[in-house]
Structure 1
Amino acid sequence: MAARRDGAPRRRRLRRRRFRCAHPRSIGERPVSDTDLIVRIAARGDGVTADGRHVPLSAPGDRLLSGGGLAKGPHHVDPPCRHFPECGGCQLQQLSDEAFADYVRDRVAGALTGQGLTAQEITPPHISPPRTRRRASLRALKLGKRNVQFGFSSQGSHRMIDLQQCEILEPRLFALVAPLRALFARMLPDRQPGEADLTLVEEGVDVVLTGLAAKSLAETEMLLDFAQQNRLARLMLIEDDAPLTLWEPDPATVRFGDIPVAFPPRAFLQATRDGEAALVEEVRHALGDAKMVADLFAGLGTFALSLANDVPGRKVYAAEAARDLVLALQSGGNRLPGRIFPEHRDLFRRPLTPKELDRFDAVILDPPRAGARDQVEQLAASQTPLIVYVSCNPASFARDAATLVQGGYAIERVKPVGQFRWSTHVELVATFRRVT
């Protein structure tokens, strides 16, 4: 009897706790204090309460309930995609448009604050619309004779999400999901992974496949039929880490301003045309009438080629470490004789020195996610009057910004850009002007 009396109340208490978590509103619970209010979204996407607790899948204005549930606030919306939150393509579909824009801006402002910095102006962010992503890497896994999962990885794991809907991909990319799933089902070895890199170029969709091999005439014809039926711009296979072009009726190109540029396979390209245009316009605004411009980490020429013709007599030096990108940029630059001066140069190993930098009226800096510590140190020691820093990582940007400020630059203006809709990935353009 004693054991039953001791055990029964415990079982009843457990049942009540489960009931409160499952149905918080049905028993009239209310938040106990304002410390339960979600006040912001942290860098990795969790909501944060006023007293510092992290709450996944919450939005500003939500409240934690005393029993453990969540009362949704005005900025908590229904996710538009059936795969959220399992799919790793998005982390913030529960946010309203206003809350997501605030998140993008706060990521940039918070990174600066963390370094003890302030900007004279942080503009409203630019947010790319849904269904505009023009590049994606999708994974394939064959689980049986005809059973293939094809899509993004699950959030924080290698588990596959078999993509049936996507609110971020440009429709021409998503239209290839079903045909690619069928192709992998026919050609991918059982229990083997595959991958498809998709990029929207001027001629259509460029597709690079990994995990498949054309070992016979029949397999080659199958791949060619696939390319023709889906009107691909190019179809390539990666075999032994080397690309093999199977289909390319016309050279695959991208366009910067009015200049077409050859597109090397899997080359870097801004995630959306819309976001690229916002970045270019902000850099254009910052450069003003500068005539001697350096574009460091120039890539294919996103900024060099787009901005070279803005000002009569402008000349742009463009430094890039990847040889295939330099060759493509040089080919595009030939259409602007006397304007573009590319150099194959690894700026991590051999950054431009202050003596070299002092020749320019302005420097555009667009480094990888890790930033450009060594090049920034050289810039901080230079007398270059204007630096326009394009970043895809607010944290490394803020670190580099601190170096520039210590060297005598002021942060004049920052433009946050959210190309990766519903993602924690944030970009920006910052204008630095020398004041001492």
Structure 2
Amino acid sequence: MTEPIIRIAAKGEGVTASGRHIAGAVTGDVVSEDGTIEPGPHHACPPCRHFGRCGGCQLQHADDAVLADFVTDRVLTAARKQGIEPLAIEPAQMSPPFSRRRATLHAVNGGGRAQVGFREAGSHRLVDITECHVLHPDLFALVTPLRAMLSARGGKYAADIDLTLADGGVDCAIRNLQVEGLEQTEAMLDFARDNGLARLSLDQGYGPETSWEPEPVTITLSGVPVPLPPGAFLQATRDGERALLAAAQDWIGDAATVADLFAGLGTFAFALADKTKVLAVEAARDTHLACQSAARAYGRPVHSLHRDLFRNPLRAEELNRFDAALLDPPRAGAREQVDQIAESKLARVVYVSCNPASWARDAKRMVDAGFVCREVRPVGQFRWSTHVELASYFTRD
């Protein structure tokens, strides 16, 4: 007996109508009783030789149509589990290959030669990558020099390497790597200079310390160069960022005042500030100060407020002073802040999320308080992965 695959589950397996989960199958494939997969019209040839081992991608065997359907389905399934039916849902916006502008690589000493790459799925074993179809070329270009630099130093290590594409080049932050003595220090500086890094910072257990930064590192957000603290959050791709910003701008519309909650560096605040006064609320102090200094330097109507919205959310009476609110919380969602939004008199809310499950839980609270989910726009910034993002719009009379 054979069964067709009708959809892809949250963790990337193909699912049949009877509920069988088949690893490596995509929508349109046919599966025999013994698990043999007959590829269908949407089964693609994975472009990367590491696919199947590397934990960075789960869905390279799916074509673009199936990928977009998967992203949309993840969002709709989460909403419907909470009894929410958006009035409109846009086609998923998918980021292209080679567009990821931030990533964390790992490095270990593999018997006298450094291995640099991503971990296998569900394992601490490292895949020593020789190609990557998601990383921006400027990030991947550092893999070979990193491998050479680490191989030359010897010793045991298990380091994490955060790479971010900033305005002036790549910001490289290395954690859990001990640098001792003049020779190792000079090798690190030579690596930074020879590869034109915007910044090199090292965290040897006491927080990041900058070793190399010829010019202050910035990231431009809606035309505003904002100081980039080590480890600060950015949307994963410029393409995905544009899609989320376009949604926020469409929905915020003519609002004169907006509360931007979990504002980070001001990704949304600076995009909205052309026509709107924005209160940008952020808990991380260095990120808050970066947003504040950029707003002052470039005369944007953005007021930055340092406040932990989990412990001290904006209260309903504070929210009532604004025409609209936008929130982009961490993966856990924003239960405490959403409770205050529900009790407020706000009529327009834009909710951006990187976790459909926590978003749907928060959305249910808002719908129960009288909001209507007007529109949802799914976004697949993490191409070929099961990670899904979205922007959503809620109103009430």
Give the shorter-chain TM-score range: over 0.9
TM-score (norm 2): 0.98
Counterparts of 1:133 and 1:371, CA distance in 2: 23
Q: 1:245 Cα shift?
A: 1.2
Runs (5+) with no aligned partner, structure 2 = none
Report the equivalent of 1:166.
132
Counterparts of 2:81 and 2:138, CA distance in 1: 41
1:174-323 equivalences under 5 Å are: 174-190=140-156, 192-309=157-274, 311=275, 314-323=276-285
- The C-alpha deviation readout for 1:275-330, integer Å capped at 9, x for no partner, is 11111111001101111100000000000012201x2xx21011100000000000
Runs (5+) with no aligned partner, structure 1 = 1-31
SS at match of 2:128: coil
Match for 1:377 among 323, 330, 339?
A: 339
Misfit runs of 4+, over 4 Å? none
Amino acid at match of 1:321: A
CA contact (8 A) 1:188 1:211 kept: no
Counterparts of 2:389 and 2:300, CA distance in 1: 32
SS at match of 1:212: coil
SS at match of 1:37: strand
TM-score (norm 1): 0.89
1:381-396 equivalences under 5 Å are: 381-396=343-358
Match for 2:17 among 28, 36, 50?
A: 50
Report the equivalent of 2:290.
328
SS at match of 1:224: helix
- The C-alpha deviation readout for 1:58-103, integer Å capped at 9, x for no partner, is 1001111134311111011110100001101001111010000000
Counterparts of 1:125 and 1:293, CA distance in 2: 26
Match for 1:86 among 53, 58, 61?
A: 53
> How many residues align structurally?
397
- Superposed CA RMSD in Å reads 1.1
Report the equivalent of 1:342.
304
1:96-175 equivalences under 5 Å are: 96-145=63-112, 147-175=113-141
Shift in CA distance, 113/216, structure 1 to aligned 2, threshold 3 Å: same
CA contact (8 A) 1:187 1:212 kept: no
CA contact (8 A) 2:6 2:17 kept: yes
Identity of aligned residues (%): 52
SS at match of 2:115: strand
Q: 1:169 Cα shift?
A: 0.2
SS at match of 1:423: coil
- Asked if residue 406 in structure 1 is aligned to residue 368 in structure 2, the reply is yes
Counterparts of 2:127 and 2:300, CA distance in 1: 50
Q: 1:187 Cα shift?
A: 2.4
